[in-house]
Structure 1
Amino acid sequence: MLLIQTSQTNESQIKGLGVLAVNNYSLTTSNKDMENICKVHNDSFEFICYPCHRLMCKRCLRTHLKQFNDHIDYWDNIQDIRESFYKILYNNSNTSSKEDINVDDNYDQSGVYEIGEEEEVLLEYNDGEADNDHDQTEFIEEEEEEVGDQQVVEEAEEENQDNEECADYDINLCFIERTINYLWNSIKKSTFLFKSMDTSEKLITEHFKILHDFLINEEHKLKSPITKDKNITLDDIDQKTTELNQIVRIIKLNNSIYNNQKSGDGEEEKEESSDGDDDDQKYCNDDTTLPTALEIIDQSETFQQYAQYCVNNEYICPDIDIEHQNKQFHNNSDFIILDTIAKYNNEFNTATYAVQQTVDEYFITVEPTELETLQQALKNTISISTSQQPIANPSPIYYYLSTHKESISLYNHSVGTLESIKDTKNYRFEGTSRSTVAVGNHIYIFGGVDGQKYCRFSLDSISIDLIEDIDPAVICGKDRLAVYDGGYYIYILGGVKRIIRFNLKKLKFENFMDTHTVDICQAFFVKEKLIIFGSPNDRQNRLNRYGIDVTTGSHFRLDWDLGVNITSVCYDGYKSLYFVSGHRFYRYNTETNQKQQLKEFASFRLTKDGFGMIYSKISDKESYVYAVRCLEIRSNIFRHYRYSIENDCWEIFIDTTNHGASALVRITSVKAVYIRTKNVGTKVFQCDEAEKIAKQINHQIQLAPNNNNQKIGWCWSEHSELLQLIFRKRLNIKILIFMGCVNKHLFLVVVFTFAL
């Protein structure tokens, strides 16, 4: 007999398909006959409730499901469990009855558990409704429980209908079989994913191994001739150094004889210390390593320095026994020197010097630009993605905003359209050609006819959404220039020897610091340093270029040798300056200090000494330099040109028919909405594709005025570049509203099946 003991009873609900929890049970055997019978109803245990970890009889289960109707999917009958186990072992998925399987006989032989006839537990379905005749089954219940039983059945039916929507749910399987399927399918999927990831990892390794082998081969190919010539040169140095050291030894011998004659004329001769032949004595120590010899040669400017070093180094040139030499050659010093030179000449056979083939010197040239291009190309040779990639950000839209006297022109580079905006709230933009700066989806314009005001243009609403006064305590010059640092501040300078800083978060001005220059041609940030170019009218223009560290307030002089006076300049944000001097157009690399002349402004009639220039990069293969107001077509009517960096040519950008054209600013915007529906999945749409959206989801699109008094509901935005999604629920209809379109209208799409 099997006794199942519980350490505790847990009534917590198990959500979804979970792992069968049996850790709180200990399985032991007992001889008590009543332990496998329900003490309350005197009936056999036939059911298990997994959330509660309890064994129950039929009547216990009925009562339990009334009390915990959320456990309706988490109980099993022992007969179903055993049939499931049998089918697993014998792979007999078509067998569905106990008689066909005959599991009782197998289990009876083990003496573990005896099973009676299969009995239903109250849950039978007929055309989606509960069978009210369940009281005709083998067990009998009290009359007052019938209403409750029917409620349990209806709730069970509703729960099962909901669960049938889940692909992994099968009502014909018992819970433990569903658990087995869940675990097995999960493990199979994880195993497949692991093998797939392992294969992907190997592919990446193989890919970079190919690149690595290629680079190694290229390295060896370039180094091979150099290595060959290095070895030839080393052999030549080794031979000549050995020969040269023997000459140094002769020099040392001569010096020793001279010193001995000078100091030893009256001394007595000493006995021979050795009878060895001089032929066995080495002229010089050949054990000196070649790297040591190279080091000595490199540090010696002349042979005299080298010889003095070797003479004083006993390891290279050991001391010579002069007394032995004198006795051997009867104190004939001249013969000693001649004999030594003859032996040297015989060893090295240096009667004449043959002309040897010289080794060429190698020069290495590295192109940083080509290296960057190669690095980017290598990155593009491989990419990684997943089957559940997040929604890709839509392509950015590039706008160019140009201000005039009382109007604004907005050019959409992506579609090539020009829109004129007349409603500027009577703001006058004269004199703001250099004080207009873009920050995200906003353009800040400082000054104008009223020098103590500033305004903000919003690309989301296509209108001026802010006009404020400049703090009277802050003194701004008339000819002001605005520079954005890429963070939280706009710096305003020019007209006065002071820099003003505008806090974008607080919308407040503050006096930042004093500066040297009043007339300023251009200013921009390079690696968080504010670079200032003086006006072309300044005679000291060549010297009036400096930088300011805005974190410390310290000034520093630039080491850029531009060589000419500058009338207009812009910076690409990376390393290149583009500037105009007269009619000539240049590019200057701030890292290598190299200047290159580009295609000139030969046919331009300049309106003044300088004009505005901006750099704009559309993609890796498309970038421009825009010349603003560089040509006056007619009186007070201007033309913007642009220079293609890739094609090295100028072309007309826009003819502005407005009077007083003052500025051109580039704005990068991402205007798109995310739509998730059960019908069309997850997609990203641009604003101008609203009609396509409506057609795809088979609903009508409407235009509604942007009425501020209308309560349109809860606003949601993933980040500032996205349009707001607004939706609400009325009865059973969910309304999705596209907000922020160019025409100041809300796009309303009524979607019955819309779901975020």
Structure 2
Amino acid sequence: MIFCDSVKDNKCLDHNRSLELICFDCNTLLCKQCISNHSDHTSTHVDDIKESVTSDSYFSYINRKLSDSSSQNSNSSSFSSGGSNSNNNSQTNLHSICDNSSQTKNIGKRNRSKFNNVNISINEMFDNLKNMSFIFHQLQKTEDEISNHFREIHEYLVIEEHRLKKPIIKDKDKLIIEIDILVKQLVSMNKIIETINNSNNKINSSQSNSSSQNSSRSTQNSYNSQQNDDSNYTDTTNQYQIETIIQTIQQSLDLNDFITRNINSIFYVDLRHNNKIDKSTLDISILHSIIKFNNTFKSMESSHQQLQTKSLKRLKLDSKKLQTWKTSINKLFQLVNVSPDLYVFDGNYIFSVDRSNRLSLISIPTGNNQVHKIHSIRGDINDAWSYNSTVCVGKYIYSFGGAGLLSSNKYQRFSLESMSIDISGTMTSIKPTTFISACYDGNKYIYLLDGFGKENTEVYRYDIETMKFECYSTLFLYGGCHELSFFYQNQMYTVQTTGIRKIDPFTKSCIELPRLDNTQFTKYISMESTAVCEDGKGNIYTHSGSKFIVLNLNTNEIRELTPAKDLLMVDHRMIYTSNNYIYVLQGLFFNYRYSIDNDKWESILQDDKSERYCRGLALITI
């Protein structure tokens, strides 16, 4: 025996015979004489491996492609004595397989014997790749979903931020205008004062010590006149910006400090021209400056006073609520580990229970190339889930009571998120019952109508939030089993073999339907089997015996339709779907789909082995 290190190792070192077999347990090549030492191991002859590959239709197709390619390449060269090129290629590929498998000899017996059946193994590999790529795709969808949710929250926060900041920004803009006006007033007034000081200085210029008693501002302006010579120019553009001025106002101790900080910018006064004019001219200039000042700023005083009366705005923050909100966000988004099987379902399905208490989802095709498919679901259910006691509420499916001769006061809830029964309890204050009709009001209650085998109908109500039952009312309504109950335009309707009734959930009373002749309706009802569904638009479809009709609650018009053939003569449930189809699922060979648009039935799910009649159905979206 020998480990396959290269294609050249074609002889057994122990027996000098051709290596024709492989031991999958030892991952070793064998000759026919070596096989006796591996009698209790799994081994295969190379011819059997090649036969298993070439016998498969897919590999036959690949081999034909390879052969065609080899034939084209062989036109310019002769075949080798060992056989055709295609055979040599096959041998080379098998040796490559051996090389690769030798690296995994310690992984485990199952992996070591992958090539015991090449066809099955390579299909399993591709199935694993498909599953992994599917999981990757779903993880990418989850990542995108997280991004979308937080983007939505971010956009909401940005809007709220702008809403809060808008009045502040508006007041700030007004303040900037007012501050700019006041600064200009101050600058103009300071210029007038400096001009007056300069005039006084000229009068006292004859006194030798007068210069030392000048105000500091005049000295600074004199110094400024020299410093602002063109040869010593510095850029003071930024000092004129209103934001910079506001900042220096905040930093200044008093008016003198503020003027000093801005002496080279807004408070710069060039008095050199004033030194060249006489006193009378300078006095007239001062008076004109005062008049100009009054004309410019008098109209702005009122708006300035109005702005000062406005109150400041401060952010009031409830720290506790903010922390609660952060905690809520943290709890709102959670990553949970789920089985990849849960991601298989996406779209519209019919939830179905069979008579062996097995759960399944039946896909509803949305395109011409799609087919109906049954997906089995694991779940422990009671002997309940009758055709009229099963109702869907959001991501949950409920069933109440028993079915057939088996009475029960149990109820269960199936979660579409966990794909399992998450509630299994007792209907408190309710006696064991069977064929109880359930309908959801679209708000928070599921109403239960119990009339099978009773003179009157007991009405119960289940709160989906508190998960509590209550005895709601008693209707003096004889008619046996309620085949279907549902809400339409805030009123509850029930269909029995004796007719259709409307029940007001607020007054707890039965209301006679105007213009509806139940006598005419019951002519189409058979006591042998009845199935009912409604489309949410006021149309009730009833298939009973060999009759199939639709009754419109708005017009009370009854129209006959084409009935299905070969249905089992038992009560069951029909399901209306939004694409104008009605489904009848009795299981075995009795599954049908009816086209409302074409008034035509077709057989579906002909390979269904389950018995589904008398059991629960519900239309769901995942």
Whether TM exceeds 0.5 here: the answer is: no
TM range (shorter): 0.3 to 0.5
Q: Tell me which protein shows more helix as a share of its residues.
A: 2
Bigger strand share: 1
User: Larger relative contact order (C-alpha < 8 A, sep ≥ 6)?
Assistant: 2
TM-score normalised by structure 2 residue count: 0.38
